[in-house]
Structure 1
Amino acid sequence: MQIFKFGGASVKDASGVKNIVAVLQTMEASNKVVVISAMGKTTNAMEAVVKAYFKETSSAIIQLQESIDYHASIVKELFKEGHQVHTSIQLLFDELKGFLFWNKSPKYDFVYDQIVSYGELISTTIVSFYLKEQGIKNTWLDARNLIKTNSNYRDASVDWDQTQRNIKENIVSKGLYITQGFIASDSNNFTTTLGREGSDYTGGIFAYCLGAQSLTIWKDVPGVLNGDPRVFENTALLHEIPYEEAIELAFYGASVIHPKTLQPLQRKEITLFVKSFKNPTASGTSVTNTKSLVPLIPCYIVKKGQVLISLSSLDFSFMMEDHIGEVFKLLAQYKMKVDLIQNSAISFSVCVDNKFNRLEELTQQLKGKFKIDVQKDVSLYTVRHATTKKLEEFTKGKNILLKQVAGRTVQLIVQE
């Protein structure tokens, strides 16, 4: 069994859906679980629906219409009028509208998961029907019936035992299965999600539970590059990456691989391939138990829109373990993802991702106990395998607020 994962860029329009057929025909459309993300920027569009919903339901319906029209244009290009897919997609959108009217929960994260998940349900329905139109038999599976999690909405943790039982009961070899990335469900069968860009992680979950031969993530780039080409110049393809190195790159924010994806793969030594859906026969990048990065060159990662919080005690006393422990307790309470920490005798600095928009609540708590300075919209750069020459070139002209060196890794917080 092989696991294929196609991201939103690969199904952003009708030609993208057609290209999935071409890829599966080239790579043989059997013994595969195909995990598919929401189409194009649908997740962003659904997030806009959530925001509108918390203002008023009517504005959410208006916002949703953009997504309805977007998918309708793709369906119109792929299928004849009267095809069953039209009814299936309409039913999904009607379900979503129903939720917008009957939901009583004021909890943002819960509502987010129930709404945003429809992007994946709709995209996989379209792809599954189109594959059948092209003579490729497949079984559509609802990932929410297979992947079970806790109720930590927007960043749920997997119940591995129950998930493995579900997957093994519903998937047999020699078939082709189409399912959703990113989504799952809790013990009450409410939809949960695995974190933004979590479709890669879904692929890793299926690969682990099925003992798959490999997981292939199909991208619009030739593989894993040593930097995001949208940010860094003269990037190069990494041909082979050890599991440990890939985990480090993902942890520091490399956008090509989701951080959680690699752990289940490493446990069973399942090879991860990152390939281009534009050129499916090219070798791309392989992540295995190889010993060294090939080629061994500096790798550059950036996380933009971060927040640098600098703390010191009000009476200039030492920042002791109890102070730092209290800070971390608050960071966890307000769901701040910590990307970098640095401390001295009387100060403590932390770079965080405010993705749950709870910074103001956190700072109000900290102000009562610490002197605090907050700098928003900073960028966190991480350079792996940095050489002195390359680092000098890279840092030239940058307004560096904080620098940290740990072994082969240099991290810089930059005000841009």
Structure 2
Amino acid sequence: MFQQAQSQSSEQPNQNLAMSVAKFGGTSVADFPAMLRCAHIIKNDTRNRLVVVSASAGVTNHLVRLSQANISLEEQNQIIAAIRVIQLNITQHLTSSVEQALNTEIDNLLDQLATLALNQSQQHSVKQSDAILAFGEQLSSRIFAQVLQSIDVNGAYFNVQQVMKTNSLYGKAVVDVEQLALACNQLLVPKLSQQVLVTQGFIGEDGLGETTTLGRGGSDYSAALLAEALNAQNLAIWTDVVGIFTTDPRITEQARAIKEISFGEAAEMATFGAKILHPATLIPAMRRNIPVFVGSSKEPEKGGTQIKQKVASNPTYRSIALRREQTLVTVKSPAMLHASGFLAQVFGILAKHELSVDLITTSEISVALTFDNPSDSTQSLLTSTVVQELEQLCEVSVEHGLSLVAVIGNGLDSAKGIGQSIFQTINDTNIRLICHGASANNLCFLVDEQDANHVVEKLHSALFV
């Protein structure tokens, strides 16, 4: 039986192996200098035993394009050649014998990729998309294991699909956490005391032996699941920024790094747009109370952000998160008035299509729902089929071009003057939807995409400076 992310594994991992799990994002393994910096991070702390890597920067974008329908053979060949260049630009810095062996492995994998891409262009499927998208991590993990060896770290490649078993919900597979814990004890723990293992984020394998993916940003989540299964003492997420900031520093130069933050606050930030963490990443860490560190692989000496259960201070305002490309769906029907069961029908349709609602507000005869519907997804989440089924129940309107702004903090459901502090600051902006009171850690609202940066900048200046 597959366990949802919120379930608790009954299998107790090995308690004697003191270790940390380190995860490196795409920019951290983008080229040889970046990989070498990461290798030294691993070497400098002997607690680092398991390394989880994303695909090298740029590779996933190529694979997303390759996984789409109606790609010409010429474009397929161009994309695969571009991926090969990215990877061989790294392997050329290794010794000639290692380079030659690695290049042979890379070419074999790219031959398999070419076959999948050709099949995908002829008969598109989500299952084949997952198989295609998995190649990025398979390539980078093999290379990084050799980079570790080049600086005298006993590193070895490990295929995460041996332990990361999932259901067959391609594109957003659910991991069987109990099976993961069992498999990690059997296959990983005996090896980790002897060597550093390098494995893949984002991917798994279903009961049919088919490749699955955990969804966008799933590499962080993979690392957290592995840390939980191994009962690790720490999980380090290495990226290209020095920790978590009070808001996106690309929006305002006044954004500042946060030294420590609670699990609850960080989870809200991740859920509502802070791209430094995948929304589900903290769930496994919270279940085992595993501290999570977020830092820059480019500047490890500058430290980063510690995420843990208890922190020294709990300010009213901790950060502002922004999530773009939101879709607002409003369903309206007089049948809602003094009637029971209408909402159950609406959510029944959404559940059938595996759709998750982020925010919801209701009135007498209408309900407004928000969905995350990013343009770089391999499949549209809110399809015309979903809308048509909803239209059989009620009047439906769909709005795109919106952004979700989330003010993150503590006691926001009960602190006095919250609404005044926030909304008077941005009284020149049209607010499309407000969601407040369900959580002590956030107040959320929708604005037009064109107003989003302006809103975040003004709020940050008012609340944090």
SS at match of 2:166: coil
Asked if 1:240 is matched to 2:260, the reply is yes
TM-aligned CA distance change 1:364 to 1:10, over 3 Å? same
Paired amino acid for 2:35: V
Deviation digits for residues 246-279 of structure 1, max 9, x if unmatched? Answer: 2222222322222222122122211111112122
Corresponding residue for 2:67? Answer: 50
Q: 1:123 aligns with which of 123, 140, 161?
A: 140
Paired amino acid for 2:320: Y
Corresponding residue for 1:222? Answer: 242
Shift of 1:245: 2.3
SS at match of 1:155: coil
Asked if 1:377 is matched to 2:396, the reply is no
Deviation digits for residues 122-158 of structure 1, max 9, x if unmatched? Answer: 0111111122222221121001111111111111111
CA distance in 2, matches of 1:108, 1:95: 17
Deviation digits for residues 72-119 of structure 1, max 9, x if unmatched? Answer: 233234454862111111111112123334579956321111000000
Corresponding residue for 2:127? Answer: 110
Asked if 1:85 is matched to 2:102, the reply is yes
SS at match of 1:199: helix
> 1:267-416 maps to which residues of 2 (within 5 A)?
267-291=287-311, 293=313, 297-313=317-333, 315=334, 318=337, 320-355=339-374, 356-357=379-380, 358-385=382-409, 387=418, 391-392=422-423, 395-406=426-437, 407-415=440-448, 416=450
CA distance in 2, matches of 1:228, 1:2: 28
The answer as to whether partners of 2:67 and 2:120 remain within 8 angstroms in 1 is: no
Paired amino acid for 1:76: Q
Paired amino acid for 1:15: P
Corresponding residue for 2:215? Answer: 195
Q: 1:76 aligns with which of 92, 101, 122?
A: 92
Corresponding residue for 1:65? Answer: 81
Q: Which runs of 5+ in 1 are unaligned?
A: none
CA distance in 2, matches of 1:388, 1:101: 55
TM-aligned CA distance change 1:26 to 1:319, over 3 Å? farther
SS at match of 1:337: coil
Structure 2 length as normaliser, TM-score?
A: 0.82
TM-aligned CA distance change 1:322 to 1:57, over 3 Å? farther
Deviation digits for residues 31-62 of structure 1, max 9, x if unmatched? Answer: 510100000021121000011x4445554333
TM-aligned CA distance change 1:279 to 1:312, over 3 Å? same
SS at match of 2:257: coil
Paired amino acid for 2:385: E
Shift of 1:234: 1.4
333-342 or 74-83: bigger deviation = 74-83
332-341 or 125-134: bigger deviation = 332-341
SS at match of 1:381: strand
Q: Which runs of 5+ in 2 are unaligned?
A: 1-18, 413-417, 451-465
CA distance in 2, matches of 1:403, 1:219: 32
CA distance in 2, matches of 1:289, 1:408: 14
Say what the alpha-carbon RMSD is for the aligned residues.
Answer: 2.4
CA distance in 2, matches of 1:48, 1:208: 33
CA distance in 2, matches of 1:294, 1:105: 55
TM-aligned CA distance change 1:31 to 1:302, over 3 Å? closer
SS at match of 1:5: strand
Paired amino acid for 1:326: Q
Asked if 1:33 is matched to 2:33, the reply is no
CA distance in 2, matches of 1:252, 1:106: 35
Deviation digits for residues 213-265 of structure 1, max 9, x if unmatched? Answer: 10000121111112121234411222222222222222223222222221221
SS at match of 1:48: helix
Q: 2:280 aligns with which of 248, 254, 260?
A: 260
The answer as to whether partners of 1:208 and 1:268 remain within 8 angstroms in 2 is: yes
Deviation digits for residues 251-309 of structure 1, max 9, x if unmatched? Answer: 22322222222122122211111112122233311111215656653411111111111
CA distance in 2, matches of 1:68, 1:77: 15
The answer as to whether partners of 2:292 and 2:308 remain within 8 angstroms in 1 is: yes
Corresponding residue for 1:207? Answer: 227
Paired amino acid for 2:328: L
Paired amino acid for 2:155: N
Structure 1 length as normaliser, TM-score?
A: 0.91
> 1:92-171 maps to which residues of 2 (within 5 A)?
92-101=109-118, 106=123, 108-171=125-188
The answer as to whether partners of 1:14 and 1:78 remain within 8 angstroms in 2 is: no
Paired amino acid for 1:345: E
Shift of 1:317: 5.1
TM-aligned CA distance change 1:302 to 1:252, over 3 Å? same
CA distance in 1, matches of 2:350, 2:31: 40
Corresponding residue for 1:22? Answer: 40
